[in-house]
Amino acid sequence: MSQRVGTTWRLLLKEVGAFGVVGGVCFVIDLALFQLLYTQTDVGAVGAKLIATLVSMTVAYLGHRHWSFSHRARTGVRREYLLFAVINGITLLQGLAVVWLVRHPLGQESALVLQVANVGSIALGTVIRFLSYRRWVFPSAGTAATAPLRPREVAGP
- Report if residue 24 sits inside a domain: yes
pTM over 0.85: no
Residues 105 and 124 placed together within one structural domain of the fold: yes
DSSP symbols for 110-140:
-HHHHHHHHHHHHHHHHHHHHHHIIIIIS--
Q: What is the mean pLDDT of the chain?
A: 89
Residues 93 and 139 placed together within one structural domain of the fold: yes
Residue 150 pLDDT: 47
Structural domain harbouring 83: 75-144
Tally of domains in the chain: 2
pLDDT (tens digit per residue) in 28-59: 999 999 999 999 999 999 899 999 999 999 99
